[in-house]
Structure 1
Amino acid sequence: MRTVYVNGEYLPETEAKVSIFDRGFLMADGVYEVTSVLDGKLIDFDGHAIRLSRSLNELQMRNPISKEDLLEVHRELVRVNEIDEGLIYLQITRGSDGDRDFAFPDPETTEPTIVLFTQSKPGLADSPAAKKGAKIISIEDIRWGRRDIKTVQLLYPSMGKMMAKKAGCDDAWMVEDGFVTEGTSNNAYIVMGNKIITRALSNEILHGITRAAVLRFAKEAQMVVEERNFTIHEAQQADEAFTTSASAFVMPVVEIDGVALGDGTPGKVAPRLREIYLDEMRKAAV
């Protein structure tokens, strides 16, 4: 049985409770982060903490915990749950003042709700899926306009993953005005020669923590990075494609809407970036 963290307390998961009036439950009024754990240490914790603060600020939501205390909570959950490889999920909601209302409750009198729990994922780094590569379908992007805020509004991305599963594929890339925005839970990239192409940061996509690290490592490895929009057709003509996320790191893409990329197996760039990312993140892990 896991130990979880709820509003300042470490509890058995069966004893963890949140109010039915919590705005995260009623209105998806909350934000989240997922931090990977490798070798019992946290990957890119600072990046996740900074993005968490930004998401809270964009929603005018009070942060109930300092960065230092948050780090200690993460470390304690890793320790007590004996996580060697896995994930820590963090969610902060606006809380509740005792009843349902569209208007925000008074932040001076309403305490945000904070929840953290672990997920053990043995073999996370040495993923068989990364060796095989993912098959992708494209779907229309009909989400709200502030995708740069990492909110818990994940119904449509969940539907997208189910559409992909129904089609016998692994995931979906969302398309708006003819251009790929991002995957259901990841940032999207194509590779042409030595050039990595990915959509530029804006309100339309999540500012991925793994994205930032991978692009930095790519430039250090003398790869060219071009931040611009691209289409599904262009992606199907690319040498390679891949996604990045905190939970899957760098994932090669081998098929898009039924069209195989190259010979239908992972190319050279994505696996190399995954290798570099894992090596560098392990060195910097806390």
Structure 2
Amino acid sequence: MSDMLNVKGLSISFGGLKAVNNFAINIEKGQLYGLIGPNGAGKTTIFNLLTGVYKPDTGTILLDGQNLTGKSTTDINKAGIARTFQNIRLFKDLSVLDNVKAGLHNHHTYSTLEGILRLPRYYKVEKEMDEEAMELLKVFGLDGECDFKASNLPYGKQRKLEIARALATEPKLLLLDEPAAGMNPNETAELMETIRFVRDHFGMTILLIEHDMKLVSGICERLTVLNFGQVLCTGPTQEVLSNPEVIKAYLGE
């Protein structure tokens, strides 16, 4: 299989401290991949590098063969990387439907003038977006709550909505930042099913950061372990999780 994400030699320093040092990762198309490591290992910094929030000091980021190194957040999102956040970042006061429509604006456009004057193209595009957003909400079982305020959804459903909104941008690679954070065991089990479903239904390539090892061992095919900004170990999930170095890094023995 060909690589969806190919990262080599990625490094960044903040005030002389190397937060990420010579990071490399290869993720195949359709793979469910985990990035794990102790708190402060540099995992979120890597997500910020992959999405253009930070510009790397060195290294290259290739998405499906396209070089995204140093590009803006908007350009990277349009090229096909979408993410969710550890602290859910929905438009709380907007409806569930409008949250998903916000993600669709990458691929559905009308001019400001068409919007202000409510010209025919405005209605055509809005109708298309409504239909597409509803299709996505159906996939996640949220279509019945399409008119609810996003803030009124229970926590687990807000997570689903965030994933639906990310998928609305039509990504090639979906980055999930601690999707199980704050969830109870039942919600986590449901989340595992959702992530598997997203991968299979949309043919999606997924990279996730997660501390919940039950979730990680349950869905990830391969793992990269980060420690102090450097790759400690990479390989098939069970092999990595039973690696003495990895156990030591987590338990701090």
Instruction: Establish whether TM, by shorter chain, passes 0.5.
Output: no
When the two structures are superposed, what TM-score results if normalisation uses the length of structure 2? 0.29
The structure where helix makes up a greater share of residues is: 2
The structure where strand makes up a greater share of residues is: 1
